[in-house]
Every structure is written in structure tokens, then in C-alpha cells.
Amino acid sequence: MLNKTLNTRRIHHVMALFLYFAISIFIFRGPLLQNDPSYFSLAGDLAVPISLHNLIQDYYPTWSDQFSKSNLMMITRYPVILPFLFLGKILNLHPMLTIEIFWVVTGTSAGFFSYLLLYYLIEKDYHENDNLKFIVSLISGFFFLFNPHFAFKSRHMLLRFIHAITPLAFLSFLKTFENKNIKNAFIAAIVLLLYSATGRSIVHGILIITICAGYAVIKFKLSIRRVINTYVIIIILFLLLSSFYIFPYLYSLKESGYIGPSYVFSENYFLGRTKLLTYPN
């Protein structure tokens, strides 16, 4: 009976993954079949790149000859962006096709992770009908995938990615608090590392961990001490995984202060942020 139940869940999960992938392909079928860069639209501070080399120069090396500026602040984005840049480089893809593949992956992830999160939460209180859990969870993924912000507004790569993995963040943190082991804690730390791609999102990630910690105390009836210990373990693992950009940041701050508080509170920084806020989407 148990094996039958597990097989049913696996089948449901594979069906859900395939369905969200098919929907994402359908949504972006036009851009994926076009070779004209003018067909594509982007928002945020990312201009349409004329070549993959130009796109790579936004992140590597640490100095950009293209814009005559440091790329040091881009290091936090490496875990998110580099896999797609490598894919585009290996397959010799048009840069915008590489980005459109990114849209398909984030769309699939948004629906599927939302499905997994609700399936996990429902399973805590309802154990009878796997088909009903599957349908309800599947619908939740549709709502998350097609909400106005994700479907229409967010054409900014990082904002879209952070939105897509938010259900995964809740799921991984809750599972870690419920079953404290090094595997779950390591996965939670990796998710938090992905969340640290932007300064604002790492704040959101810490907030999500805190919410999950409170939920674990109330819903799972865990002791506050155990939850705090798990919380600290996740943060320590996150800091270790983040050392590849924390140490360069601290060194740069010590040597020049270029990306430190003196830059953040400078007139040039605030003028740049103002332009982004007033730029039409």
C-alpha cells in the first residue's frame, strides 16, 4: 500500500512538472522561434544584448571594459546567471534565446515549486485522497504562475527568478525545521544563497526563514531552542557558501570603498536608482 502511494505521488509530480513546462513553452513559443532581437522585451536595468559576449561581460571579468566599471557587485548573481551563460556559450545560442530559455525555466519552476509547497502543507492534515491533493496543488501552481506580477510585469531576470523560487524557499525551510539534518540544512542554505542574488531579496529570504521558524513552533509544536539551533545552522552554512562574494566585497571595501556605504549613499547611486524607478516598464 505504501509503495503504491509513493508511486502515485511520483506520477503526480512528474505530470505536474511536465504540465508547467508545456505551459511555459506555450507562453514563450513566439520569442523562442524568433531570431530578431527587436522581438524581445526586457525590463529593469538589462538592455537587449547584441551578442552573448556582451551579455557575459556584464558579469565577467570583474572589470567591464564595456561600461568602464567594476562588475564586483555582480558576483552575487553568479549562481543564478552563470549556468545559463555557460549553456548559451556551449550551444552557441543567440543571447536573447538564452534569456528566453531562462524565462521558460523560471516559469516552470514557479508553477512546480508552488505545487510542491501546497502538496506538502496539505499532506500534513489530509491523508485520504491523493488525487484531490494533486488537483488542489496543481491549481495553486496555476495561480502562482499566472499572477499579474509574474505573468506580465516581471521581465527582469533576477526578480523573476526570485519570485519563481519563493515557494521552494518556504518548502526547504519548513522541511529543515521539521526534520533537522545536514542534508536539509544544506539545501536550505543553497536556496538562501540563490536568494542573495540581490540585496533586497536576501532581506526577503531572511524574513521567510523567520516566518517558517514561527510556523514550525506553532504548527509542528517544536521547541524554540531546537528551531533557533536549526536557524543558526542554516545561516552558518549560508555564510560559508557565500564566502566567494563576501570576501571580495570586504576586501574591496577595505581597499577602495567602491561598493561600500560611501558609494550606496552617494549622489550618483541615488540618481541611478531614481532613473530605474522612473523608467517605463
- Find how far residue 114's CA is from the centre of its chain: 13
Task: Name the nearest CA neighbour of 81 among 198, 192, 186.
Answer: 198
Q: How far is CA 90 from the centre of its chain?
A: 23
Q: What is the pLDDT of residue 135?
A: 93
Using DSSP's 3-state secondary structure scheme, residue 69 falls into strand
Between 117 and 261, the more confident residue is: 117
Q: Which residue has the cell 514561527?
A: 214
pLDDT at 110: 94
13-20 average pLDDT score:
94
Cα separation, 25 vs 110, in Å, equals 14
pLDDT tens per residue across span 77-130 = 888 888 888 888 888 887 778 888 888 999 999 999 999 999 999 988 877 788
User: Which residue shows C-alpha cell 506538502?
Assistant: 120
What is d(CA 49, CA 56) in angstroms, rounded to the nearest whole number? Answer: 10
Cβ within 8 Å of residue 45, ≥6 positions away: 156, 276
pLDDT, residue 66, reads 62
Nearest to 105 by CA among 23, 47, 30: 23
pLDDT, average across residues 235-255: 81
Residue reference for cell 566567494 = 244
The predicted model gives 216-231 an average pLDDT of: 94
Contact 118, 137 (CB under 8 A): yes
Q: CA 222 to CA 227: how far, in whole Å?
A: 7
Q: What is the pLDDT of residue 261?
A: 42
Residue 65: phi, psi to the nearest 5? -70, -25
Which pTM value belongs to this model?
Answer: 0.82
Nearest-Å Rg of the Cα atoms of the chain is 21
Mean pLDDT of 152-165: 79
How far is it, in rounded angstroms, from Cα 31 to Cα 100? 7
